[in-house]
Each structure stands twice: as C-alpha cells, then as structure tokens.
Amino acid sequence: MNLFELSTNRLSLVALSQEELQFVHALHSNPEVDFYNTLGIPTTIEDTEAILNEMVLENEKEDIRKFTFCIKLNDQSIGLIALNLGNKKYEIGEIWYKFLPEFWNQGFATEALKVLIHFGFHKLKLHRIEAGCASKNIGSVKVLEKAGMIREGHKRQHLPLKSGWADCYEYGMLITDLKGS
C-alpha cells in the first residue's frame, strides 16, 4: 500500500485530483447525497472547483493533514472518502465519506472505510479515529458499525441540514479495537 493508492478486492482509493471535477460536482449536486450533508449543493461548477482545489492542495502538502481519496470501482469514480488529522499530540483522525446513490447498499462504503481505518492506524500510527453522522442516516450508522466503530455519543441538534437541525451520533475506534492488529 503506498500513501496515495489504497485498495481492496473491489476498490481503488486514489488521491483526489483536478481530473475529478465533473465527478465531484455530480456527487455534491446530487440531492440524495446532500440530504444528510452539511456542505450544501454547489450553485455552480466553479463553486465545486474551489472546494476541489482546496482538497487537492491539502493532498499535495509536504506535511499532509487531510487525505482525500476518490473511490473507484473498475476505474469508475463512485465516491469520496477522507481522513483529516487532528493535533499531532493526540494522534487522532476523523473520517468522512460520500457515495453516489447507485452504489449504496453494496458494501462499498464499509470496504473503503475499513481500508482507510487500517491506513490510519498502521501507516499514520494514529491512536484514535472518529466519525459522525446524522442519527437518522441509517445507512451511515450501519457502515460505521460494520467497520468496527463504536457509538460513543449523541449530540442533540448538532447538524444544520436543509430539513432543519439534526441529531448526530459520534463514533470512535482505538488502535486496540482492531481485531488482529
């Protein structure tokens, strides 16, 4: 596994690049993807380009603190996943992900999350990895739990969604929680 190419039996996770602009715009513009997301739908492709540029620049830094990957299935882009590192002293990272709806409920998110967790613990030597999701986002709840993350908290009215304030579940995992680590 090298730093910018992670893989599973079915998926490749490659460092996000400018070449993914149309895909990222389609992903961020999808109302189903946006439903539990706080980013909001970009007004123009230029808005998406600004978001993409920031993520790509982070990936290119010498001391990378935000790793953003494009998830590919047979060279087709199907989602994004990222690991954002916190204060070095705490050896902590936070994961987020999003997929096109036609790739939901097929195990792709869990598969990508597991490989990114492994990367975080074994390559980046993190002590703890966290994630959060809207409490009513049952798909993400299942993904996080299947990947071995433990629900540690419930924040009330934490996420400003289009539908109003939503509760958020907080998940965490320690290196010692990994089976066979």
pLDDT for 60 equals 87
Would the pLDDT of 146 be above 80?
yes
Let me know if residue 100 belongs to a domain: yes
The confidence band for 180, taking pLDDT boundaries of 50, 70 and 90, is low
Let me know if residue 180 belongs to a domain: no
Q: What mean pLDDT is predicted for residues 56-77?
A: 93
Structurally, the chain folds into a number of domains equal to: 1
> Mind listing the pLDDT tens digit for each residue in 125-144?
999 999 999 999 999 999 99
The confidence band for 2, taking pLDDT boundaries of 50, 70 and 90, is very low
pLDDT for 15 equals 94
Residue 99: both structure tokens together: 């997929």
Let me know if residue 142 belongs to a domain: no
Let me know if residue 157 belongs to a domain: no
Let me know if residue 165 belongs to a domain: no
Let me know if residue 120 belongs to a domain: yes
- Model pTM score: 0.94
Q: CATH number, domain at 38?
A: 3.40.630.30
What is the bridge-based pairing of β-strands 66-73 and 76-85?
antiparallel
Q: What mean pLDDT is predicted for residues 31-55?
A: 93
Q: What mean pLDDT is predicted for residues 53-70?
A: 92
Let me know if residue 68 belongs to a domain: yes
What CA–CA distance (Å, rounded) separates 70 from 128? Answer: 23
**145 three-state secondary structure:** helix
- Domain residues for the domain of 63 are 5-129
- Is 80 buried (19+), middle (13-18) or exposed (0-12) by CB count in 10 A? buried
